[in-house]
Amino acid sequence: MRGIIASDIDRTLTNRDHVIPKDVIKYLHKCYDDGFEIVFLTGRTFTFSRKALSLCDFPFHLGVQNGSEVLKIPEKEFRMQKFLTREKMMKIRSLNPYSDRDYLVYSGVALGDFCYYVKENFEDEALEYIERVQGFGLVSYQKIPSFEEIENIHFPVMRLFGSLEQMEEVKEKILEAEPDVSCVILHDLSPGGSHIIMVSEKGVDKGSSLKRLADHYDWTGPMIGCGDDLNDMTMFDTVDISIGMENGHPRLLEKATIIAKPSYDMGIIDALDQAIGMIND
């Protein structure tokens, strides 16, 4: 093999309709044919990701919810899963300082890839937000009376939304009380979105997931990583050459080896050409 190309999906590869253009698919297919393993790593769900990747006609690996679950595609075989326990999920919920909203807790791919929420724990403005994101994220939302009544014993991720300042305060509070989790704050790309905090099991991040996958298969060769947001930071720390989208988060771009034009201009193609040229040199 020649190496590994690991990439975020939304705003790194996709157009404005959140689908990867045919020309980008064709380019990645050529990279696969030339000996690169292709890995997609996203903070989104499997359902959302499969729509974006619907035109891909070559084998790849897909890590969803920041790598809490990694599947081999097209077989849809699980290669790695790392989940929060019910006890941790309930403890983190108990730390929520806001009375007008609760966490959104995700089931995982095998149990339907939907989102649990207790409607009574959300006030009107928060419920309006949930209604907006349902269609955008292509995820089914399941109302439940309480989290005590569901049978799941583990969960890939839980999310809370609010302002950046609020989410930073929540992150500090969580890690003080429960250090064995992973927290990342992202700008929410859904309509009217503000910021979200994603809480996962410790060790769930794009960089760690990529490294575990490479170790699992004993992959060798240089790694190229592509992304645009703060959850791509650990991936950039793991790879040999990093590609940041020019409209990405400033802190991420500070780490980037190459700055690419925006995804809707298919800037990733020229950037990957440059990265592969650096490998060849």
Domain boundary among 201, 232, 251: 201
pLDDT digits (tens, 9 = 90+) for 83-93: 999 999 999 99
How many Å is the maximal CA-CA distance in the chain?
59
In which domain, by residue range, is 169 found?
A: 84-201
pLDDT digits (tens, 9 = 90+) for 106-125: 999 999 999 999 999 999 98
pLDDT value at position 28?
98
- Per-residue DSSP letters for 58-108? S-EEEEEGGGTEEEEETTTEEEEE--EEHHHHHHHHHT---SS---EEE--
CA gap 176, 156 in Å, rounded: 21
- Per-residue DSSP letters for 181-250? EEEEEEE--STT--EEEEEEETT-SHHHHHHHHHHHHT--S-EEEEE-SGGGHHHHHHSSEEEEETTS-H
Cα dihedral sign, 231-233-234-239: positive
Say whether both 197 and 212 belong to one domain. no
Which two structure tokens, joined as six digits, stand for 191? 């309509």
Q: Divide the 281 residues of the chain into consecutive groups of 10 and give the mean pLDDT of each group.
A: 95 91 97 98 92 93 97 96 96 96 96 94 91 74 92 94 94 97 86 83 97 95 96 97 96 97 97 96 73
Say whether both 51 and 184 belong to one domain. no
Say whether both 141 and 247 belong to one domain. no
Say whether both 244 and 218 belong to one domain. yes
pLDDT value at position 187?
84
Which two structure tokens, joined as six digits, stand for 222? 């240089």
pLDDT value at position 128?
87
Q: Look up the CATH number of the domain holding residue 29.
A: 3.40.50.1000
Residue 65 carries which DSSP code? G
The residue behind tokens 């700008």 is 187
CA gap 172, 8 in Å, rounded: 26
Q: Are 151 and 112 in contact (CB under 8 A)?
A: no
Which two structure tokens, joined as six digits, stand for 60? 């790849």
Residue 167 carries which DSSP code? H
Say whether both 192 and 136 belong to one domain. yes
Q: Look up the CATH number of the domain holding residue 173.
A: 3.30.1240.10
CA gap 188, 163 in Å, rounded: 10
pLDDT value at position 51?
86
**Number of domains comprising the chain:** 2
Domain boundary among 155, 174, 201: 201
Continuous segment of H or E residues that includes residue 130: helix 124-137
Say whether both 110 and 158 belong to one domain. yes
